[in-house]
Amino acid sequence: MKLLRIAAMTLLLAVVAVSCKEKPVDCTPVKKEIQPVEQAPRADPGQRNFGGGMTAPANRDTTGMAERMRRMREEQNRIRTVHFNDLSMSDPYILADEATKTYYLTSSGGRQYRSKDLVMWEGPYNVIDLSGTWCEKAGFAAAAEIHKIGNYYYYAGTWSDHSEIIQAIPRRYNVPHNQTYLLRSESPEGPFVPFSVTPGYDYQPYEWDCIDGTLYEEDGHIYMIFVHEWTQLIDGTMDYIELSPDLTKTISEWPVTMFRASECPPCGEMNSLGEATFGLKMPGWVTDGPQMFRTQTGKLGMLWSTWGKERYLQVVCYSESGTIAGPWVQEPEPFLANNSGHGMLFRTFDGELRYVVHHSEGNGPRKPQYWTVDDSGDKLVLGKQIILKQ
């Protein structure tokens, strides 16, 4: 009888072990209320600053500001046709959709523009529906992208909930809940809606400050490459995690770190460069905006951005193994400097490889630019800026 009980218990444990192994990862993060702490020192008046948050001058006239902001938002959201030269945006991304022979432009902000010729663009269209997710409260989508995988179009955007602190780092930063979340549609024009295993699912570890996720396929596997923010780490990293075939969840046990920002020669330390972020003097090295590519010779590379001597920079690295596993070797010089970055490669319907990137002249707004690129060898070669006439 004792042997039967032992055998039964052994069988039960084996069944439990198998069922646990096959059970999807629990998608509900363990959350706890974290009290904010004193942040990094404030930026100096007039200091260069990315991301807003600077204190307004005491004598600034704020009369009617709410009404002016409302009118500005209405004008920004009005559907119209505009020339490429008149667009202002950060982090531009273009999907050239063969099925519709239409170019779809997204960026930080999350709205979509549409064009047949890459010159005149119609928009901005609201193509996402975040109902039932925490992202709905966050609203603003950073570094938006649209990818065609299989029969679906996937919208990758980063949402930030600053009301939810995941880590409070004294004398540095109250780290908010930042995640790249995926939406899906049968059309490149949306609506893109939640489809993950649970609404608002964290594709990256909940306790990580993560942004700028992009999608990449290799040997039948689909990965999300994303930024683990320097604001949390000091030395930012680029990481990847494998997704399930239906993209509803991650299946890796833990993300893999590809490289750190400080490994890139053009990358500078923010305080040494005189750069403030969100109005704060935070020391550190930045990773931003990854995009994977292969040259015509099959060389695997990554475009990404950081900060250096010419402010925002576009840099490139290459995988020695030819796979996502690396090791990743950084190029010694920027791919494009002069306060330009977060660029993306795309191929026109005529087969021309182009590069779209944002650039800021002085303290002016960020505006997209087109460049030609040669990928016929083992490395990308930047060509000339394409100047469009109006």
Instruction: Say how many C-beta atoms besides its own lie within 10 A of residue 77's C-beta.
Output: 12
The pLDDT of 8-16, averaged and rounded, is 36
When mean pLDDT is compared across 199-208, 337-346, 361-370, the lowest value belongs to 361-370
Beta-strand relationship, 276-277 and 49-50 = parallel
Find tokens 């330009």 and name the residue.
340
Instruction: Give 132-178 pLDDT, tens digit per residue.
Output: 999 998 888 999 999 999 999 999 999 999 999 999 999 999 999 99
pLDDT above 50 for 375: yes
Contact between 227 and 290 (Cβ < 8 Å): yes
pLDDT digits (tens, 9 = 90+) for 57-115: 445 455 665 666 566 666 667 899 999 999 999 999 999 999 999 999 999 999 999 99
pLDDT surpasses 50 at 206 = yes
Sorting pLDDT into bands at 50, 70 and 90, what band is 3? very low
pLDDT in the model for residue 89 = 96
Q: Kindly indicate the confidence band of residue 52, based on its pLDDT and cuts at 50, 70 and 90.
A: low
DSSP 120-144: EEEEEE--B--TTSTHHHH-PPEEE
For 295-331, write each residue's pLDDT tens digit: 999 999 999 999 999 999 999 999 999 999 999 999 9
CA distance 124 to 88: 12
pLDDT for residue 232 is more than 80: yes
What are the extents of the domains in the chain?
34-53+72-386
Tell which phi-psi region holds residue 70, choosing left (phi > 0), alpha (psi between -120 and 50) or beta.
alpha
Per-residue DSSP letter, 159: E
pTM of the model: 0.88
Residue range 34-53+72-386, CATH number:
2.115.10.20
List the structure tokens of 86.
């008149």
